[in-house]
Amino acid sequence: MARDRTSPEDFARPIRRILVGGLVLVLLALFVLWRIDSPRVERFRAALIDRLVPNFDWALLPVTKAVGMIGSFQSYASLYDQNQRLREELQQMKAWKEAALQLEQQNARLLDLNQVRIDPKLTHVTGVVLADSGSPFRQSVLLNVGARDGIRDGWAAMDGIGLVGRIAGLGQRSARVILLTDANSRIPVMVQPSGQKALLSGDNLPAPPLEFVEDADLVRPGDQVVTSGDGGVLPAGLLVGQVVMGPDRRLRVRLAADYGRLEFLRVLRSHDLEPIADPGGLVAPPLPDPGLIGPLPLAPAGLAGSGASDG
Amino acid sequence: MVDLLHSTIWRHRAIFVALALALFFLRLLPLGAEPGRWPGPDLMLCLILAWVQRRPDYLPAPLIALVVLTEDFLMLRPPGLWTAIVVLATEFLRGRAALTRELSFAMEWLLIAILMTVMLLAYRLVFAIAFLPQPGFGFAMVQVLGSILSYPVVVALSRIVLGVHKPAMGEVDARGRRL
């Protein structure tokens, strides 16, 4: 047959219909498998991305650098103004540098005085953001550190200022961070001056809402929000952001991390966060009185006789 | 027998795969899609529907399934579901190619618009049945509207740049065989 197949009757042959039907069933079975046994399929997905995407970084970096350069060119009116502004900034920076050096010396002295040690459980691995999923529906980024660098699922990721997200999905050379604004993200937090516990759940908007606040009157916009360490999910005390009142009159958190400029992320190693399962035996259930269980002791003969005569 | 190394068909299939990889690459760039911004149009879907409407032999069903399944895995969607919906939609279009050949572009555009909306509704229906969380309906509808509006652009570019057009009556290809 020398005809190329374009006419519709060539696509309606029964065998082809059966094969395409079989293909659709296989795809739906894959979806059901994902729904039932999600970790297995997610591991496959992480392995697939691990093989494909890090090979792109030679191409991704020049493009992002070029876009960054275009952005910075567009933000200045002319080179002369830029030059003047930079000179002024340089003068200011020199003054700040002096102040910073003095503060650094003072800090070193005070640290020596206090013998302060930063919690060794919170060492970190720094990773570079390779790619993000690029869609407003899924908020996640891909890092260039993976299982071979010792990363594990569930560890927290911060940028220089505040908490950015958690590791969910690992390959050998890459790891995926689910951001706090993603719809599947739930973080236990504490609102700082009042000590209220709450849950920060993302909903694809820039300022995720606070849910399950015990007493909403004690929480005011401007309060600081940190992680509470509940349930051993994340280390405690990491800065998350500030409380704001959203336009829908809900308490939301303006995140301290700069989501528009995620470049380097620190993944905090937290090896043994033990969840507190019981109150430590402080309040024990009452032990049963051994005297009440078992045969009752026989009453003295005189009492039994008087009781029987009364009854 | 059919010359399986017919160069035009395989060249266009390779072009399709290259375009798909380019679209993945653009989606993966860390240019910071902040939450709350409107989603862009689904250009991959527009491309597939435009090519299937014009030259169905360029895109066999397994090729479409493979490309869209890879996109499912890369874009963090539940794998397999959107692929199945796209394969069913393209089979629907292929079966009706005889009826839609004579349609003007406006009617074809309307058909594609309705088809894309039905695909979105089926997708969201399965999400609701499977109790999966999903973004708001208006949000997803904006993406479908964007795809519908960019469909003519994709058709024009395919026609002008890549030469993908409906075969005219009695048209012959480069070796003199009828299309």
- What is the per-residue pLDDT across A48-62, written as a single tens digit (0 to 9) for each? 888 877 666 677 777
Interchain contact, A132 vs B73, CB within 8 Å: no
What is the side-by-side strand order in the sheet with A196-201? A210-211, A196-201, A186-191, A224-227, A239-245, A251-255
Give the one of A27, A63, A133 whose C-beta lies nearest to B84's C-beta.
Answer: A27
Interchain contact, A29 vs B80, CB within 8 Å: yes
Q: Which of A273, A203, A262, A207 lies closest to A238, judged by CA?
A: A273
Q: Which of B169, B162, B119 lies closest to B8, judged by CA?
A: B162
Residue A307 has a pLDDT of 43
Give the one of B30, B56, B94 whose C-beta lies nearest to A141's C-beta.
Answer: B30
Token pair 């032999």 is found at: B57
Asked whether residue A303 carries a pLDDT value surpassing 50, the answer given is no
Summarised one tens digit per residue, pLDDT across range A2-15 is 444 555 556 567 88
Residues of A in contact with B91 (CB under 8 A): 11, 20
Residue B114 has a pLDDT of 95
* pLDDT tens track, chain B, 179 positions: 445 445 778 888 999 999 998 888 887 776 656 666 777 888 999 999 999 988 888 899 999 999 999 999 988 889 999 999 999 999 999 888 778 888 888 999 999 999 999 999 999 999 999 988 888 888 889 999 999 999 999 999 988 888 887 776 666 665 555 55
Question: Looking at per-residue confidence, does B172 or A18 come out higher?
Answer: A18
Q: Compare all CA atoms of chain B with the CA of A30 and give the residue at the minimum distance.
A: B80
Residues of B in contact with A38 (CB under 8 A): none
C-alpha–C-alpha distance, residues B57 and B173, integer Å: 14
Residue A120 has a pLDDT of 60
Residue A291 has a pLDDT of 66
Residues of B in contact with A132 (CB under 8 A): 28, 30, 32-33
Residues of B in contact with A12 (CB under 8 A): 95
Angle at B113 between CA B110 and CA B118, to 5 degrees: 125
Interchain contact, A260 vs B1, CB within 8 Å: no
Residues of A in contact with B58 (CB under 8 A): none
Average pLDDT for A243-263: 88
Residue A282 has a pLDDT of 54
Give the one of A2, A31, A259 whose C-beta lies nearest to B81's C-beta.
Answer: A31
C-alpha–C-alpha distance, residues A219 and A224, integer Å: 10
Asked whether residue A285 carries a pLDDT value surpassing 70, the answer given is no
Residue B4 has a pLDDT of 45
Mean pLDDT check: name the lowest of A163-167, A300-304, B151-155.
A300-304
Residue A76 has a pLDDT of 63
Asked whether residue A227 carries a pLDDT value surpassing 80, the answer given is yes
Measured between CA atoms, how close is A45 to chain B, in angstroms? 6
Residue B3 has a pLDDT of 52
Interchain contact, B74 vs A53, CB within 8 Å: yes
Q: What is the mean pLDDT of chain A?
A: 80
Asked whether residue A204 carries a pLDDT value surpassing 60, the answer given is yes
Residue A199 has a pLDDT of 94
Mean pLDDT check: name the lowest of A73-77, A99-103, B119-123, B156-160.
A73-77
Asked whether residue A275 carries a pLDDT value surpassing 60, the answer given is no
Residue B115 has a pLDDT of 95
Contacts of B76 (CB under 8 A, 6+ apart): A45, A133, A138, A140
Asked whether residue A240 carries a pLDDT value surpassing 80, the answer given is yes
Residue B5 has a pLDDT of 46
Residues paired with residue A186 on neighbouring β-strands, in sequence order: A201
Say which DSSP state A169 is in.
Answer: E
Residues of A in contact with B62 (CB under 8 A): 23
User: Residue A21, Cα to own-chain centre: how many angstroms?
Assistant: 40
Residue A256 has a pLDDT of 86
Contacts of A185 (CB under 8 A, 6+ apart): A139, A165, A166, A178, A179, A200, A201, A202, A208
* Tokens read off for A71: 């952005």
Measured between CA atoms, how close is A262 to chain B, in angstroms? 8
Q: How big is the A-B interface in CB pairs under 8 Å?
A: 161
Interchain contact, B80 vs A8, CB within 8 Å: no
What is the phi/psi pair of residue A307, to 5°?
A: -65, -40
Measured between CA atoms, how close is A119 to chain B, in angstroms? 33
Mean pLDDT check: name the lowest of A191-195, A200-204, A220-224, B6-10.
B6-10
C-alpha–C-alpha distance, residues A257 and A158, integer Å: 8
Interchain contact, B80 vs A30, CB within 8 Å: yes
At A308, is the pLDDT very low, low, confident or very high (cuts 50, 70, 90)? very low
At A310, is the pLDDT very low, low, confident or very high (cuts 50, 70, 90)? very low
Interchain contact, B27 vs A261, CB within 8 Å: no
Question: Looking at per-residue confidence, does B67 or A275 come out higher?
Answer: B67
Q: Which of B81, B56, B53 lies closest to B69, judged by CA?
A: B81
- ipTM, 2 dp: 0.86
Q: Compare all CA atoms of chain B with the CA of A62 and give the residue at the minimum distance.
A: B29
Candidates B9, B37, B67, B74, partner chain A, best to mutate (most A CBs within 10 A): B74
Interchain contact, A260 vs B9, CB within 8 Å: no
The runs of H, that is alpha helices, within A37-177 are 38-52, 57-74, 79-114
Asked whether residue A67 carries a pLDDT value surpassing 70, the answer given is yes
Residue B66 has a pLDDT of 94
Residues of B in contact with A44 (CB under 8 A): 73
